[in-house]
Structure 1
Amino acid sequence: MKLITPPEGSRHQSAALISMLDVHHTVRFEPADRQWYACEASSQDQAILTLFCQSLTVAQCEAVIDGLNDYLCVGGLSAHPLSGRYGETVLRAPVLYKQRQGLAARCSQLSTALGVELGVQDTQPALAQPGVLVMDMDSTVIQIECIDEIAKLAGLGEQVSQVTEKAMRGELDFAQSLISRVACLQGVEQAQLAQIRDQIPLMPGISVLIGELKRHGWRIALASGGFTFFANYLQSRLGLDRAYANELEVVDGTLTGKVAGDIVDADTKAAVVSAMAEEYQVARGQTVALGDGANDLVMMRQAGLGVACHGKPVVNEKADVAIRFSGLHGLLYFLR
């Protein structure tokens, strides 16, 4: 084990320090005036802290430890096996809880203030073991809300996007808000949807995430409150196992303003997590749900790990961990 004690006021890049070690070594930040990794606690209070960003500094590491001092007793920070592979320095540490109340809010505050990704988990799914990932589509796998883009074709983009935003924050019933928004799409030619599909901007890191998981035998699905026209296309483009979404009713090549069949809502998304875990004989602890809106919270609770992706405040607060700044490949760092 290599012990590193940065001098007072040090602002060296920890990435440079990590480069001197292989992933089996431990980097300890041990200010002389604080024994922050000494703590008495029972085994059920043990957890894992994960910290990452590009160009992670010693100052940021120390600020995280200082900021969590009232909640956690932290052990040595070690490099995650994927640290550096995709551009971020990724550190993790065994931690012992002093208390949990307010911990999620404190992690959120530190993450935002320091510009780092930060999460504390009781358990972590294993990357090397087969698992299931169920992802939201709009504003998660892709950078747009497809319904808002269709509404622009009908000249109602701003009106619909305001309703979408409220629904994603959990301020409106999702199913009812979807019905009212789809009604605004009446008269749009189905052929026009191809303009949106052919220019869909993927969320950064999605290809890395999918590629890494598939190499380890994971099954991956979309479960979206959006539409099959786009979800089926993404299933094919990204090589996903399943895609579930709402179907827009079309008559004579024109949208009628109605949804055909049952609505894919929060409960449907949660059912997808359970069904895929059963189909592929995957334990709950190896299931992950990823999303940004309030309608994703039910599937996050159903999964072993719920991950917010550039989420609305309520989602960041209630998810197990949150990705606020990095690409979707950041989810990999919350796996062991």
Structure 2
Amino acid sequence: MLLSELPPSLSDWSRSLSHAPWWQLHSAALHPVSAPLSAGWLVLFGRSLQVAHLAKLADTLTGLGVVATLYPTTEVAEVPLLLLGTDTFSDELVAQLKREQWDIDICHLPALPTLNEPGLLVMDMDSTAIQIECIDEIARLAGVGEQVAAVTAAAMQGKLEFAASLRNRVALLAGAPVTILDEVAANMPWMPGLPLMVKTLKQAGWKVAIASGGFTRFAGQLQQALGLDAVFANELVVDGDTLTGQVHGRIVDAAVKAEVLQQLAQQYGIAASQTVAVGDGANDLNMMAVAGLGIAIHAKPLVQAQAAATLNHHDLEGVLCLIGASACRDRRWDMARS
């Protein structure tokens, strides 16, 4: 079947493709096959997803000599999604897809987690679970916003050692009233898709936690509101009604985040392949590396380059797309439709 013959809406593809369970993708067509490929996975998702995206992908695959088969279409979190199995996992394909310009999110992965088994998701907080960097907001209210924001940006890009940079930023907050924390917490914008993601994962029996280089005041509020299983963050030292400019105990940096993910997986008896790490900054790369799937969301260039999966056009509903994509493997085109 020529790609140009497919209906505009993905929801109508099952009617056109119902006479074969899977389809091999060629440059301008789909050919029916009796067995799918599963050595690697391509996940394409976006509200604008259409045939043109599949055609563009076909050209890229042909150029790299990668063969792919199309699984049945689906929607996850109301986002249209395509899953293709490949004959190999290709680092070259990963790099090529990241170089190309897409108006949807597309990822090439060696394996996919599933909602059909217990799992663990550990996410960063600032600019991941929420849309702000809390320390920058605290600093702004304390009158040292520009100084702190510049250091935060450099640390998230991997240009500064995180623990030392955090202590230096917190030192600038010495003498600020504790009520600033309440003001920031009251106006803390959640990342779109956060409640849906947490609810969906919890209903599927997953554990959800935060490992943050931010602060317990805000992570604890999210835990209470969303029913998170655990939070790990830094504790600001308070003297009476003011901040001392110090942090209590060990800083939750890149190494600690990776430890948290591994410790929680062991505690809850979660297989490594069923662990997911989500973040945006350089200090999230270690936990992404030890997770079964590392997802960068609206991330810095260094993080996008190294993360297994990147979300550039979706918020946290995109995490559900990647975790829920495996449902396509268990389906066939609706053979009853004609």
Q: Does 2:106 correspond to 1:108? A: no
Deviations 1:234-258 (A, max 9, x none): 1111110000000001001101111
After TM superposition, the structure 1 = structure 2 runs for residues 184-199 of structure 1, keeping only pairs within 5 Å, are 184-199=172-187
Deviation, structure 1 residue 114:
2.1
Q: What SS does the aligned partner of 2:4 have?
A: coil
Q: CA deviation at 1:35?
A: 8.3
Q: Is the 8 A contact 1:36 1:74 kept in 2?
A: no
- Indicate whether 1:59 and 2:27 are aligned: no
1:312-323 alignment runs, 5 A limit? 312-323=300-311
Of 88-97 and 21-30, more deviation after overlay is shown by 21-30
Provide the residue aligned with 2:320 in structure 1.
Answer: 332
Shift of 1:37: 10
Q: How does 1:170-249 map to 2 (within 5 A)?
A: 170-249=158-237
SS at 1:73 equivalent: coil
| C-alpha contact 1:133 1:288 (8 A) present in aligned 2 | yes
The residue that corresponds to 2:252 in the other structure is 264
Q: Tell me, what secondary structure is at the counterpart of 1:187? A: coil
Q: CA deviation at 1:101?
A: 4.4
Deviation at residue 320 of structure 1 after TM alignment: 1.0
CA gap of 1:22–1:203, structure 2 versus 1, over 3 A, is: farther
SS of the residue corresponding to residue 296 of structure 1 reads helix
Q: How big is each residue's C-alpha offset from its partner over 1:38-82, in whole Å with a ceiling of 9 and x where there is no partner? A: 9xxxx9x920110111021211221122123333523332345xx
Kindly state the Cα deviation for residue 20 of structure 1 after the two structures are TM-superposed.
Answer: 4.2
> Which residue is equivalent to 2:285?
297
Distance in 2 (CA, whole Å) between partners of 1:126 and 1:84 is 15
Residues 262-309 of structure 1 show CA distances to partners (whole Å, capped at 9, x for unaligned) of: 111111111111111111111111111110000001111111111111
Do residues 68 (structure 1) and 56 (structure 2) align?
A: no
Shift of residue 191 of structure 1?
Answer: 1.4
1:77 maps to 70
| Cα distance between partner residues in 1 of 2:280 and 2:132 | 12
Greater Cα offset, 321-330 or 99-108:
99-108
Match of 2:10 among 15, 22, 43: 15
Cα separation, partners in 2 of 1:254 and 1:18, compared to 1, 3 Å? farther
CA–CA distance in 2 between the matches of 1:291 and 1:315? Answer: 9
- Given that 1:135 and 1:141 are in contact with CA atoms closer than 8 Å, whether structure 2 keeps it comes out as yes
AA aligned opposite 2:4: P
* Partner SS for 2:173: coil
The residue that corresponds to 1:93 in the other structure is 84
| Unpaired runs of at least 5, structure 1 | none
Q: Structure 2 counterpart of 1:6, which letter?
A: S
Q: What is the deviation of 1:105?
A: 2.4
Percent of aligned positions with the same letter in both sequences?
A: 41
Superimposed CA distance per residue, residues 124-168 of structure 1 (whole angstroms, 9 cap, x where no aligned partner): 111110011110000000000000000001112122111111100
TM-superposition CA deviations, 1:161-193 (whole Å, max 9, x none): 111111001010001110111111112111121
Could you tell me whether the CA contact under 8 Å between 1:14 and 1:55 is conserved in 2?
Answer: no
Distance 1:101 1:217, change over 3 A: closer
Cα distance change of structure 1 residues 27 and 198 upon mapping to structure 2, 3 Å threshold: farther
> What TM-score does the superposition give when structure 1 sets the normalisation length?
0.88
- 2:69 and 2:86 in contact (8 A); partners too: no
Query: 2:137 maps to what in 1?
Result: 149
Paired residues, what number?
320
Given that 1:144 and 1:201 are in contact with CA atoms closer than 8 Å, whether structure 2 keeps it comes out as yes
Separation in 1, partners of 2:184, 2:46: 32
8 A contact 2:26–2:58 mirrored in 1: no
Q: Is the 8 A contact 2:27 2:58 kept in 1?
A: no
Please identify, of 65-74 and 154-163, the stretch whose mean Cα deviation from structure 2 is larger.
65-74
Q: Is 1:72–1:95's contact at 8 Å kept on the other side of the alignment? A: no
1:196 partner SS: helix
Cα offset, 1:28, TM superposition: 6.2
